[in-house]
Amino acid sequence: MTTTAKVISSVIDGQEAVSGGGEYVSRNPSRLDDVVATVTLGGPSTLADAARSAKRAQREWAAVPPPVRGRVIASFGRLVEANKQTLAELVTREIGKPLAEALGEVQEIIDTADFFLGEGRRLYGQTVPSEMPDKQLFTFRVPVGVAAVITAGNFPVAVPSWYLVPALLCGNAVVWKPAEYASASARALAELAWRAGVPAGVLNLVYADGENTFAGLEQALTEGTVNKIGFTGSSAVGVKVGELAGRHLQSACLELGGKNPMVIAPDADLDLAVEGALFSGFGTAGQRCTSLGSVIAHVDVHDEFVRRLTAAVENAVVGDPREDVLYGPMLDQKFADNYERMLGWIADHHTVLGSTATGRITDAAPRAGFLGDHSAGLFYHPVLLDGVRPDDQVFLEETFGPLVGVTTYRTLDEALELADRPGYGLSASVYTTDPTTAFRFRAGIGAGMVSVNNSTSGAEAHLPFGGNGRSGNGSRQSGIWVLDQFTRWQSLNWDFSGKLQKAQMDVATI
Ligand code: UN1
């Protein structure tokens, strides 16, 4: 086997910046001996150095007319399109996502660029009537300044582009800190952005571990060089990011975990629901923030639904993500270790369905229908758990692995209560042929994103994306809604009366 590992490090103002934080080896999770990149990590002040550079570059970028910035976004989209296959193959190699999904992920960047390139001509403000004569009020969207964007690696290029594209379009500079295990994919995406015309200092790439990321972020916030934080990752780390931002009176856009429920109503099309549960529960090895967490099935259809889903899980093909598989390996060793810990939540009252084992696929615990070589990678059995109770840890916590629990309900109110019980609120789905149930579900659920007769994952790139509760602080990405993350409203009072008109004192009456 040949490896083409390169050594990469942070890029600040177009310069490969060096070290201070050791080294990270990014490996192919399907074949751990395949080193994708050796990453030189930055130290405790690398992120702050990058933020200072971003701050310097931002003023000039903000002066570029938004339609011209839109053209840079257009050429970024075209470059991503021209490199779609190569980028997708790199994503598959670095984080183990099946190639078909990786191609879909790269398409999501192109769609995001397509959406925002025109927004450069539409960064609308308003004209607002004044209380007083000979006076006009206006509003303008102004860039926030420098955005620190910290992203997970399960969507190593699409989710970052949800931040990068609108942030840049709106006239901000960015310091992007990707997940270490997705470093090479991040570098490839950043290079396309620079080639498209994003000035070097306007997009800075920082590789750092968690501790140094927080140290650098704290320093930058203290120095006043970061004005916005975008964070996609776990709820636990999101709390820390939110606290840090709050201490410095800066706002964070937090896109965190989910325990996304799927309710199967008694009138559901069960085959359709099984397909949706298989895709969103086990696809991407359950490693999406929108992955299905729990099935909440009506008692009347529970047995039949579980019977059909068990058959679908048994027949699912797992394995080499370059092949036509439902899912590949875990993202990296850390995710595999965490998931193994969560497998400990399986209790005696659960029935394990769909697989003969629950953990890693090994010679001793093989899986029929596995494509490729399981021994070299982080491959796990799909686990379907029946008999899950509302107080079980496996019902309450995100597992971020190929595990789905099933529980039952009798009334829609009970289903809604169960669906919201874990306290997340990202995505929720209901399968029903009754429009009344669909509407009541939408109105009663706490999730930010609701699907009817569709799975919990696979949100389209131009609807508001985000959640509530443990899933985030209510911020929304994507579509026009994200403009409120990367611009702030500035108002203008223009008095052409030639005299001092006093608001709240001098209101003109006719
Ligand atoms: C994530 O896992 O952080 O809705 C994002 C979806 C994808 C995005 C997932 N479009 O499943």
- Secondary-structure class of domain 44-257+471-491 per CATH: alpha beta
The 3 state secondary structure assigned to 39-96 is: EEEECCCHHHHHHHHHHHHHHHHHHCCHHHHHHHHHHHHHHHHHCHHHHHHHHHHHHC
Quick one: which atom of ligand 1 is closest to the CA of 280?
11
Instruction: Answer whether 295's CB lies under 8 Å from 408's CB.
Output: no
Q: Which residues line ligand 1 (CB under 6 A)?
A: 154-155, 159, 232, 288-290, 457-459
Residue 502 CA to ligand 1 center (angstroms) comes to 51
The structure's pTM equals: 0.96
- Residue ranges, CATH 3.40.605.10, the chain: 44-257+471-491
pLDDT tens series, the chain, 510 aa: 344 458 999 999 999 977 789 999 999 999 999 999 999 999 999 999 999 999 999 999 999 999 999 999 999 999 999 999 999 999 999 999 999 999 999 999 999 999 999 999 999 999 999 999 999 999 999 999 999 999 999 999 999 999 999 999 999 999 999 999 999 999 999 999 999 999 999 999 999 999 999 999 999 999 999 999 999 999 999 999 999 999 999 999 999 999 999 999 999 999 999 999 999 999 999 999 999 999 999 999 999 999 999 999 999 999 999 999 999 999 999 999 999 999 999 999 999 999 999 999 999 999 998 999 999 999 999 999 999 999 999 999 999 999 999 999 999 999 999 999 999 999 999 999 999 999 999 999 999 999 999 999 999 989 999 999 999 999 999 999 999 999 999 999 999 999 999 888 755 555
Residue type, 396: L
Sheet of 487-495, strand order: 126-129, 135-143, 487-495
From 165, 174, 289, 378, the catalytic residue:
289
Measure the CA–CA gap between 251 and 308, rounded to whole angstroms.
Answer: 46
ipTM: 0.96
Q: Determine the CATH number of domain 260-452.
A: 3.40.309.10
Residue 364 CA to ligand 1 center (angstroms) comes to 34
Quick one: which atom of ligand 1 is closest to the CA of 465?
4
From the number of C-beta atoms within 10 Å of its C-beta (0-12, 13-18, 19+), residue 458 rates as middle
| Pocket-testing residue among 288, 291, 427, ligand 1, by greatest number of atoms within 8 A of Cβ | 288
Instruction: Answer whether 85's CB lies under 8 Å from 203's CB.
Output: no
- Residue ranges, CATH 3.40.309.10, the chain: 260-452
Instruction: Answer whether 273's CB lies under 8 Å from 305's CB.
Output: yes
Residue 166 CA to ligand 1 center (angstroms) comes to 17
170 catalytic residue (yes or no): no
Radius of gyration of the chain (CA): 24
Residue 153 CA to ligand 1 center (angstroms) comes to 11
Question: Closest Cα to atom 6, ligand 1: which residue?
Answer: 458
Q: Could you tell me how many residues make up the chain?
A: 510
Measuring CA to CA, which residue among 440, 500, 463, 393 is closest to residue 112? 463
